[in-house]
Structure formats: C-alpha cells, structure tokens
Amino acid sequence: GDSVTQMEGPVTLSEEAFLTINCTYTATGYPSLFWYVQYPGEGLQLLLKATKADDKGSNKGFEATYRKETTSFHLEKGSVQVSDSAVYFCAFSIIQGAQKLVFGQGTRLTINP
C-alpha cells in the first residue's frame, strides 16, 4: 500500500553542518511530494513541495528533488542553524491539488550551537 519511509531520528547536528533527511515513498500513480516542518508548540507548516519528476522544491535554504527513478525526495540543507530544530515530515498526495496526504513518521532534528 501507499507509504512513506523517513530517516529515523532523532538527528543531532552542530550549527553550520550539512543536513540530509532521507525520504522514500511507495505510491500508485504520480504523487505530489511535500516536506512539512513542525516547530515546538506549533502546527505543521508546509516547507516545500514538488509536483512532478525532477522538480526541485526549495525554501529557507532547504531543498528536495523529486526523483521518480528512486522514488525519493530527500531533504537537504547546506548549513543548518539552531532555529532549524524541529520535526520534519515527508508526505505525498496522489490526486493533484488534493489535500489528502500520506505522511512519514517524522524526523526530529536538533541543532546545537
């Protein structure tokens, strides 16, 4: 069935380190792919998205490329900051524009100064 597998956390890095959070998906059809972020005490917020193969989503220094051949959507950032500490969720939706999402389990990221 449809599912998302994320890198298991927690992930702890030092400030300015390079970040990769792996995400692979299993889906029928051609999904749209998303990364959501949840800061402490807040709701999930859309971080970036990609709607077709080879698209690159980017926001706040984060990037992820839709790789259809490897069914992956890995999240990367070249230099993380303490303020990036949060839980990151990979997700997809099958129907274009639909809001029905399938989520990964989330990866908790902690950045130390």
Partner 1 sequence: GAVVSQHPSWVICKSGTSVKIECRSLDFQATTMFWYRQFPKQSLMLMATSNEGSKATYEQGVEKDKFLINHASLTLSTLTVTSAHPEDSSFYICSATGGGANVLTFGAGSRLTVL
Instruction: Give the binding site for partner 1 (CB under 8 A).
Output: 4, 36, 38, 41-46, 89, 97, 99-106
Q: How far is the CB of 74 from partner 1 (least distance, A)?
A: 18
Nearer to partner 1, 105 or 112 (CB): 105
Closest CA to 62 of 79, 38, 50: 79
Nearer to partner 1, 18 or 30 (CB): 30
The angle formed by the CA atoms of residues 26, 28 and 32, to the nearest 5 degrees, is 80
Q: How far is the CB of 13 from partner 1 (least distance, A)?
A: 20
Taken in order 92, 4, 11, 99, the sign of the CA dihedral is positive
